[in-house]
Structure 1
């Protein structure tokens, strides 16, 4: 039974799966790059591996592959504005982090001070995922700087507990 499935129906169906929201950051030639994701997940405990997916046509995609190191800031509900900002294409790179308190991790990537959790990684593998790349990273540092309800994404909208 080969029925064609259109991308709109696909988005609606997979959008029913609630996810957390994070911002992935990297740094190339002293320039910070950041992107909102809801495709972040744990992969392995031995070794410690996580992954996220980056759209191949985004400038973040090329930056994170070039840098080889990246950070993840898991967002609390209070950071919805940051999530929206870092999900927009074409925003200026210069000063984009200035509005949100952040610090440099061991790998010199930006990590948000209010994050519920932060993870720093080095890229171990990149897999083809259609119009995205699946970027797998080995964890090099972890922290839980903030607390509070998480920012969630479900059915095309931001939510929280």
Structure 2
């Protein structure tokens, strides 16, 4: 038995269904965003969540430098947004122009029609191979206006329960 190579690891982990979220930050007046499946609740008291950010991704350095970030958990209606913000090589300047969003109390962009949005302040960052594991304290949150079906990522595709 041997450890999987990166492609085999991707295949193995694609068999774990996850919710889909958009992570955002704002630095020097510029919005940065990416689609994330590697998020988790860490603690209820204090309220902590984590997100895993790829080292060579466009969000990594701005998120660590700003220290404030948003997390928008997508409903099934967010498939186009998830696809767009996961597109490699997309233009980073103005990437949220085609995505309906609003500003949270911290000033970060939060995706409209999300199931829930969280605004977080980074409390710790840990090396994790080709990612950084960023832990943030939730400083504000908004539940979605109406319950919707979630957007799910499974076997490298987006799904919804219906």
TM-score band, normalised by shorter chain: over 0.9
Q: Determine the structure 1 residue equivalent to 2:91.
A: 92
Per-residue CA deviation, residues 105-144 of structure 1 (Å, 9 max, x unaligned), is 0110000111010000000000000000000000000111
81-90 or 20-29, larger mean C-alpha shift: 81-90
Q: Determine the structure 2 residue equivalent to 1:150.
A: 150
Q: Determine the structure 2 residue equivalent to 1:78.
A: 77
Q: Secondary structure at the match of 2:59?
A: helix
Q: Cα distance, 1:79 vs. partner?
A: 1.0
Q: Cα distance, 1:90 vs. partner?
A: 3.0
Aligned length: 160
Q: Distance in 2 between matches of 1:7 and 1:89?
A: 18
- From the superposition, tell whether residues 4 and 73 of structure 1 become closer, same or farther in structure 2 (CA, over 3 Å): closer
Which runs of no fewer than 5 residues in structure 2 stay unpaired? none
Q: Cα distance, 1:83 vs. partner?
A: 0.4
Q: How does 1:64-75 map to 2 (within 5 A)?
A: 64-75=63-74
- 8 Å CA contact 1:49–1:137 kept in 2: the answer is yes
Q: Cα distance, 1:145 vs. partner?
A: 2.2
- 8 Å CA contact 1:50–1:139 kept in 2: the answer is yes
Regions of 4+ moved over 4 Å = none
Q: Distance in 2 between matches of 1:27 and 1:136?
A: 17
Q: TM-score w.r.t. structure 1 length?
A: 0.94
Q: TM-score w.r.t. structure 2 length?
A: 0.94
Which runs of no fewer than 5 residues in structure 1 stay unpaired? none
Q: Distance in 1 between matches of 2:144 and 2:97?
A: 19
Q: Determine the structure 2 residue equivalent to 1:133.
A: 132
- 8 Å CA contact 1:151–1:160 kept in 2: the answer is yes
- 8 Å CA contact 1:31–1:93 kept in 2: the answer is no
Per-residue CA deviation, residues 64-117 of structure 1 (Å, 9 max, x unaligned), is 001100000000111101101101233223322122221110110000111010
Q: How does 1:7-156 map to 2 (within 5 A)?
A: 7-146=6-145, 147-156=147-156
RMSD of the alignment, in Å? 1.2
